[in-house]
Amino acid sequence: MPTCTICDNDVFDKKKNLIKEYKYWTLLVRNRNWTLGNCVVILKRHAEALSQVTEDEMKEFAIVTKETEHTIKKAFHYDKINWMLLMMSDNHVHFHVAPRYATPKTFAGMEWTDTAWPAMTKLFTEQKQPVAQEILNKIKEEIKKNI
């Protein structure tokens, strides 16, 4: 089966945004952050449906989930966290990880406001512009140091 088809596209850019490689999954900071610490977890081999994910891949995904949630909580102190499997544009199994915040956060000289709190719908209709790579690098490093 072919490898990941979306890791290197403009939205995910594995080369610049890699946080951690697992055996079956890749954790990246997302360059169009909805909220502070927004990441994406991508299956390393190509699959177009969640039902195509193997038992071993799902076992590791449980580890990835726990580690990601713990790490982002430690780094940015989110109030809630959402995991979304969205494959309308990128037809490849991947999860968006969206930490949610009841109050604004300040990080890397920026104020991050979760304008949709506590609703979810605005996260999809208010697409954010890409965050500068220097800021993404700071987010990525903060997450990495808390793994």
DSSP string of 30-46? -SS-SSTT-EEEEESB-
Q: How far apart are CA 26 and CA 44, in angstroms?
A: 6
Domains for the chain: give ranges and CATH numbers. 14-145 (3.30.428.10)
Task: Answer yes or no: are the C-beta atoms of 45 and 111 closer than 8 Å.
Answer: no
Task: Answer yes or no: are the C-beta atoms of 29 and 143 closer than 8 Å.
Answer: yes
**pLDDT tens, N- to C-terminus, the chain (147 residues):** 456 767 666 668 999 999 999 999 999 999 888 899 999 999 999 999 999 999 999 999 999 999 999 999 999 999 999 999 988 788 899 999 999 999 999 999 999 999 889 887 666 556 567 889 999 999 999 999 999
Per DSSP (E only), the strands in 47-101 are 80-85, 94-100
Task: Answer yes or no: are the C-beta atoms of 117 and 105 closer than 8 Å.
Answer: no
